[in-house]
Every structure is written in C-alpha cells, then in structure tokens.
Amino acid sequence: MNTPICDFVRAYREKNIIRGHMPGHKGREILGMEPMDITEIQGADSLYEADGIIRESEKNASFLFGCPTFYSTEGSSQCIRAMVFLAMQWAGKQRKKPLIAAGRNVHKAFVTAAAMAGCDVEWLYPGEGESYLSCCPTAADAEAFLAETKPAALYLTSPDYLGHMADIEGIANACKKLGVLLMVDNAHGAYLRFLQPSLHPMDLGADICCDSAHKTLPVLTGGAYLHAREGMFSEKEIKNALSLFGSTSPSYLILQSLDAANPILAEPFPRMLSDTVSSLQLLKSYLQDVGYVLAGNEPMKLTVLAKPYGYTGFDMAQALREDGVECEFCDADHVVLMPGPMLDIGRETRLSQALLLLKRRPAIQAQPPRPFRPERVLSIRDAMFADSEWIPAERSEGRILSYVTVGCPPAVPIVVSGERIGREAVAAFRYFGIDSCHVVKE
C-alpha cells in the first residue's frame, strides 16, 4: 500500500524549494519537524476538496476499513460535529423531526454540536449498575426507546471511556427496522476493525461513525476518521460537513501520520494487535488472581475499579505514577490504562509489575453518586446561547445549566445545557471535583 502524502512531502523537502508560502517557519528546523510541515500548495491536494494525494490516501484507508473513510486532522470532536450536521441534513431529506436519541454518556462535542445544529435530544440513561460514564442499552431497550421517542437518529458512544461496548449489531438491526440512522462515537475503537473478527461499528451495522485514529492506532494526536456506509451520503456531503467544523489549514504532519499508518495497519498491525489482546487477557487474569476488580469488555483497555483494592482511583494512579507508569484517566473510582501493540505488557514489564506489586489494602466501601435524570427546562441551544454567568458549583442548586461543565477527560457532562441543577447534581459536582459551572442568568 502506498503513502502518497508522505512521498509528496518528502520529495518537496528534498527539492529545497524557497517556501514563499505558509507556515511561517519556512521549513527551517527549530523543533525538528518543520521541514515536513507544509500547507495546501500545488500538488499537495486540499483536504476538503480532495482529488489528488489526499484522496488517494483516503482510498487506501477506505480499503482498510471496508467503507468510505475520510480524514480529520482535528480529532473525533470535528467528526462528531460533522455527524450531527449530516444527521440533521438526512432528517430534513426524510422529512423527519430534527430529533436525535442519544446515550447519556456523550462526549461534550456532541452537546455543542446539537446546540449549533439546533436539534433536540432525547436521552437514553444508564441502566442499573452503570455509572454516568456508560450507557449500553440492550437492543430490546433501545428499540423500545426509539419506538416511543421516534427520533431521526440514534447516537451511541461505544466503546466508552471505561471500555464498555454496546451491542451495536443488535441495536443496528433495531434502527434499520424503525428507519433510524445509527451514528456511533467510536473514538476509542479504531483498532476494533483489525481484530479477527472485526468488532468495528461499521462492520456491525452503523450508518456513520467516527474513530480517533490517534487514540488506539500509531497516528499523531488529532488524526481521526469519519466513516459512512456506502451510498448513505455523497463524498461531497461528507467533506462539506467536515469542512464546516475544521480549520482551512489542516495539519500536514497529522495527514502524513494518517497516510503512513495505512501500510502498517495492513501489516503488521493486525498481528501485533492479536498478540497484545492475548497478553492483556493474560494480564487481566493475573490481576484478578491477586484481587483486582476490573470493568469493561473492550479487548484493549484495562479499567481497574480501584476501591475494592483499597485505593481511590486518584491514589492508585499516583502510586503507579511513582512507579513510572502514567494512566490515561483516573477518577475517585477508576483507573483506566490503554495498552496497545506499541507497548509491551508481558508479565515482567514495568506496567504489569507496577500493578501486580501494588500492595492490596482493605476495600473502600464509599460508592459514587448514582446517575440521575435532571429536569429539562430549556432546549440545549436556548440554554447555550442565553445570557449566562459562572458561579461556584456549590451555589448552583436550582439554576439552569448553560455551557456543559465537564472535567476533561472524560468530558462527559453530568448535567446538560438547559437542565435544572438539582441537589443530586450539586453532590455529583462535588464528588467529581467540579467547582464552578456556567448557568443561565436569572
């Protein structure tokens, strides 16, 4: 598989051309990567009107993912906004209401996208035993919810930050039956395509889906994909939707990394991934043997429930940090580690040893707040564009939230714009360390 973007930039660098164009560093090495950092000069194609090397590289990615695939240099965040825009365009064409049903554990990009698109959202709440970071309804529950709320589209986050994956196949069947567009935030699951068999949402029946390539594949931060089912949207519609939310100066460093990843993803990534998943399964069983309680069913994530092992998530993450291991995410209850084919996780490695040698303590009993259903007062859009102010979270009871107030990661809102902040919400803000919030002025 070729790498047309990398080849172009390498050749351009070698020609030693006077760079009478952006960027301002002119290819002069200060940090080291400047010579490879170009802009949309002649021959370099144009991300949102691609018909040259970028299109060729995207075709390679489409071949790898088995469906039309488009690059983003601004993460899944950009793709999520584009997906919501496309869903609303689709709803208009189908003469459906601008209404999306969504699992409540959305990334904040979805909420701002809904505000900008002016669409309404019906929330599917986490089930019994799920935290506010998860929402994996059964196919039957999802179908009943869709039949009752009649949205144009369903938006699910799978895998979620804690490594729970929803039954996308079953839910996709329910969506097809009811004529509902299925969008999946697969930011954490680009690698799922390279498992045997694939667990990627597009292979399980999603209509459109985003992957943060940078989260689980060997790609620079910011690199992402937007995938769509063949024939669902035209190439022009997808490029237009992405361009609405992207810079007119996309990073060629990120484009090169997406391009360079393609031949690696063809081979040896799938083989390396399979080895990693086996090693991680083994590590998970060693950890369970010494008393760890783990969460999630995602094959390449390691989520520890810290309290049964006697730590808060913060303390466990700090203990690992002191042993030279930095986690992806921690909160009071969880520590999330994201291994991958580029990280050795055999039993004797530092990561495994840091966990296995961590002293077990008496379990901590305190439980996190249960997810709750705030009262909806205004639409997301009306609340987000209302006259508003910052106030201390402790004094927010009774007020209506304007911007979503989230810790990032995981960037999952506890209360959504337009909802009234109740006593439970204030307690949850306290628990999750949110000390101020943005509310509609009274």
Ligand X SMILES: Cc1ncc(COP(=O)(O)O)c(C=O)c1O
**Contact between 225 and ligand X per CB under 6 A:** no
For residues 144 to 163, the per-residue mask of contacts with ligand X, x marking binding by CB under 6 A and - elsewhere, is -------------x---x--
**Residues 222, 245 contacting (CB under 8 angstroms):** no
E strand residue ranges, 110-180: 120-124, 153-157
Residue 205 φ/ψ region, left for φ over 0, alpha for ψ in the -120 to 50 degree band, beta for the rest: left
> Residue 214 or 239: which CB sits closer to ligand X?
214
For residues 102 to 131, the per-residue mask of contacts with ligand X, x marking binding by CB under 6 A and - elsewhere, is -----x-x----------------------
> Residue 55 or 188: which CB sits closer to ligand X?
188
Indicate the burial class of 352 (C-beta count within 10 angstroms; 0-12, 13-18, 19 or more).
buried
> Residue 220 or 287: which CB sits closer to ligand X?
220
Binding segment toward ligand X, per CB under 6 A, in 69-77, 245-253, 296-304, 383-391: 69-77
**Residues 45, 55 contacting (CB under 8 angstroms):** yes
> Residue 60 or 212: which CB sits closer to ligand X?
212
> Residue 107 or 200: which CB sits closer to ligand X?
107
**Residues 84, 111 contacting (CB under 8 angstroms):** no
Annotate 386-407 with three-state secondary structure: CCEEEEEHHHCCCCEECCCCCC
Which residues within the stretch 71-100 sit at the binding site for ligand X (CB under 6 A)? 75-77
For residues 166 to 185, the per-residue mask of contacts with ligand X, x marking binding by CB under 6 A and - elsewhere, is -------------------x
**Contact between 60 and ligand X per CB under 6 A:** no
Helix H or strand E encompassing 125: none
Dihedral pair phi/psi, residue 153, rounded to 5°: -145, 155
For residues 395 to 414, the per-residue mask of contacts with ligand X, x marking binding by CB under 6 A and - elsewhere, is --------------xxx---
Residues forming a β-bridge with 211 = 225
Q: Which of 224, 280, 380, 416 binds ligand X (CB under 6 A)?
A: 224
CB of 82 to ligand X, least distance (A): 12
Query: Which two structure tokens, joined as six digits, stand for 217?
Result: 């594949």
For residues 353 to 392, the per-residue mask of contacts with ligand X, x marking binding by CB under 6 A and - elsewhere, is ----------------------------------------
CB of 212 to ligand X, least distance (A): 3
CB of 107 to ligand X, least distance (A): 4
CB of 213 to ligand X, least distance (A): 8
Amino acid letter, 97: K
Which residues within the stretch 286-315 sit at the binding site for ligand X (CB under 6 A)? none
Kindly write down the DSSP assignment for every residue of 1-58, as one continuous string.
Answer: ---HHHHHHHHHHHHT----SSSTTTT--SSS-GGG---S-TTS--GGG--SHHHHHH
β-strands 153-157, 99-103 pairing: parallel
**Contact between 187 and ligand X per CB under 6 A:** yes
DSSP helix/strand/coil, 415: coil
**Contact between 262 and ligand X per CB under 6 A:** no
The single-letter DSSP state of residue 328 is S
In the bound state, the residue with its beta carbon closest to ligand X is: 75
Chain contacts with ligand X (rule: CB under 6 A) = 75-77, 107, 109, 157, 161, 185, 187-188, 212, 224, 409-411
